[in-house]
Structure 1
């Protein structure tokens, strides 16, 4: 679940954090309603620049920095299209709703973030100089063309010793088509076990690409070499998948995964009685839901999955953010109480109006002691920001506050592997492992295994502190310890299942 946005000092961050990040999620929602900033027009009319490629820049907000990358493309004489990556927040593939290029003037509108970038292409420096506008504020942002990214050490190199197919399948209930990649062993005489990879929160492509890493590509490669068919796919509304990502809930994503299972069941190369799910972070929350709703799921792997309610996850992450800011225990307690109360109001069955949310916030704010207010004002306290208001009205966030993994895990009797990194700083390993085990015991599940892997962070990289701000500087994509434990368990489970069905 989602990317902790504690990288910015203010609580209303540059990108609206609509999923408690995984939580690893930057969910952006809403519609753009910003007045355009008119930048100076060059005196001479110049030819329209070729903007195809990746453009990277850094937003400076006080003492904090946030790197953004725009991936701009155009096929032949077609109009430009683009996606945006928030590099330090681990969010990729965020749709750019409008790309306008008029001579040297560039406009990039991101409706989901309620933001717009307005810039001028500088031919001499081959840069785009402009302003990022969001929430009534404007920040300088200079974009430079990014050279091809350095390959990560664990990225597989073609030709692969297995078959790779670009596939698509339908989710008839949602009326959408999803696109993905299926890898499977070559030259096999019999059908093989298969797994579906389920990404964490935030807009994710099939490789779960973030910070230059492609963990699902690495995992799929490793498992396919071990004899498994592996299906990974773009989230709805991302990459080549149809549908709309924003405002979709975890239940919607579970519906997509169910469609992926049904697709595999129709493949003659796959053993229909040996199809499992591997979910990371929010994906680990989704997997038990799919197992209850979709017939034919044989086993589960939960990687850094939440075991407690979404409301508790959000509160814990918010409290950690405040502690990291150096606030006193009393101030943290007061601020977390307001945050939690606002989330409770948002989670009620009937969505509250913006007026109700603002009024409720002010009631709580005015009741705070004056010394507490003074500590919170520099962090954005005193008013409900547009970003926080959008979060409270977002369908995903509202559902997440209500979601209780116990409801699904306590009915799970399938073979289940639960893995956590001991240095996970986004979800507490001890709290969540304990909760997951409690739920599996309630289900009288005698086929589960829980492991806490030493030294690994939320992304299952070998880490020093486990903090999110280390992610980008770690060259390792996935720890060999994770991969070997995963493959060993899968081989054992599928081998046992195969023996039982002989």
Structure 2
């Protein structure tokens, strides 16, 4: 199976290797509260390299994946600390790049305004609100004087990559200069869900199809959704899934006139290479704009090293090759 895909030619950016510690002076952290879509208060962390006290630096918004994922990239449904977004933030700061990461609406410190009642929850957790939160986080990043307003990026992990794509498209001429998609599917989520259910619980395939059709038709999760599928389709998530199920990431990236880097683990068991990501790689290659796509062998969905066939790659540091590529590419593109 092909494990590494690289776009070459005029569309590729030849970034130099990252220095292990270009800015050894350290970092400073700022805890933030800012309004998300609909005025919902979001809580986050701005991590700055100390070089920002002397000059403006590039900035990146970090967007977490699916489920109750906090600003550090940890999911409350898992007992392990993944810390993916925190690790990325620290990596960027060591390389002279600031980052803003935030608790998703309804999660951790951003959970204070979570509504009661199904109707209110459906409105609160709608797909458009999550996209709006990414745009609000980027606006908050630009509000800080240490950030170069012309050298920003969005970095989304997994489902967060879909939100980054949708936000960049919605921002139009106000879109950031660059986009990083990490472990992000290249097919519509409806196809990803079909494949995942078929692999892990084929006995639920028919029920899953019925539920997705009902969501697309009505915007609501059916009341008779089996308990086994409610982890995938929570009762309040109808408007969210109605927006994301048919969102086409490959078609969207083809319309964006910004630099784009795709990072993917060759041992990803959730968004499987190459079937799930090939459309995104093909779209990057066709568009004739700066773009690069790399699939790293023995790396997990969370961009961690995988040591065996049963190692999920949840804990530990970023895979060194991933860290080096991410830092060097962003330094080159954003001018850090």
Normalising by the residue count of structure 1, what TM-score does the alignment of the two structures yield?
Answer: 0.54
* From 451, 455, 459, the counterpart of 2:298: 455
- Distance in structure 2 (CA, Å) of the matches to 1:220 and 1:387: 35
- Residue 135 (structure 2) pairs with residue 270 (structure 1): no
CA displacement at 1:214 relative to structure 2:
1.4
2:211·2:222 contact (CA, 8 Å) conserved in 1?
Answer: no
User: Is 1:310 the equivalent of 2:151?
Assistant: no
Which residue number corresponds to residue 197 of structure 1?
Answer: 62
Paired residues, number = 295
Matched, 1:491 2:331: yes
CA contact (8 A) 2:268 2:299 kept: yes
Q: What displacement does 1:353 show? A: 5.2
**1:405 is aligned to 2:249:** yes
Written as runs of structure 1 = structure 2, the 5 A alignment for 1:324-343 is 332=202, 336-343=205-212
Structure of higher RCO (CA pairs closer than 8 Å, 6+ residues apart): 2
In the other structure, the counterpart of 2:180 is 301
In the alignment, structure 1 residue 244 sits paired with structure 2 residue 111 = no
- Deviations 1:340-393, CA, capped at 9 Å, x for gaps: 243223322454753xxx5xxxxxxxxxxxxxxxxxxxxxxxxx5245368275
Secondary structure of 1:482's partner? helix
Alignment of 1:111-122 (within 5 A): none
Partner of 1:165: 30
| Residue aligned with 2:45, SS | strand
Query: Which sections of structure 2, spanning at least 5 residues, go unmatched?
Result: 1-23, 116-120
How far, CA to CA, are the matches of 1:454 and 1:386 in structure 2? 36
After superposition, the Cα gap between the structure-2 partners of 1:353 and 1:335, relative to the gap in structure 1 and judged at 3 Å, is: closer
Contact 1:410 1:440 in 2 (8 A): yes
Q: Hey, what's the Cα distance between the residues in 2 that align with 1:350 and 1:226?
A: 44
Report the equivalent of 2:317. Answer: 477
2:229 to 380, 388, 398: 388
State the shift of 1:415 in Å: 0.4
Match of 1:220 in 2: 89
Q: What TM-score do the two structures reach when normalised by structure 2?
A: 0.80
Q: Contact (CA 8 Å) 1:458, 1:466: kept in 2 or not?
A: no
Q: Would the aligned equivalents of 1:198 and 1:287 in 2 still touch at CA under 8 Å?
A: yes
Determine whether 1:206 maps to 2:71: yes
Name the CA shift for 1:427/1:385 in 2 (closer, same or farther; >3 Å): same
Matching residue of 1:14:
none
Contact in 1 for aligned 2:33/2:43 (Cα 8 Å):
yes
Distance 1:316 1:199 in 2: 22
Question: Is 2:165 the partner of 1:288?
Answer: yes
| Separation (CA, whole Å) in 2 of partners of 1:352 and 1:244 | 19
Deviation by residue 1:296-315 (Cα, 9 ceiling, x = unmatched): 41100000001101110001
RMSD of Structure 2 on Structure 1 (CA):
2.6
**CA-CA distance at 1:271 after TM superposition:** 0.4
For 2:219 and 2:304, how far apart are their aligned partners in 1? 41
Matches within 5 A, 1:99-110: none
- Counterpart Cα distance in 2 of 1:385 and 1:352: 11
1:233 paired with 2:102, answer yes
Q: 1:213 to 1:386 in 2, by over 3 A?
A: closer
Residues 419-458 of structure 1 aligned to structure 2 (within 5 Å): 419-441=263-285, 444-458=287-301
Does residue 179 (structure 1) correspond to residue 43 (structure 2)? The answer is: yes
Partner of 1:254: 131
- Contact 1:343 / 1:392 at 8 angstroms: preserved in 2? no
Question: Residues 392 and 470 of structure 1: is their aligned pair in 2 closer, same or farther, counting only changes over 3 Å?
Answer: closer
Q: Does the 8 Å CA contact 1:208/1:216 hold for their aligned counterparts? A: yes
Shift in Å at residue 260 of structure 1?
A: 1.0
Q: Which has the larger radius of gyration?
A: 1
Q: Which has the higher helix share?
A: 2
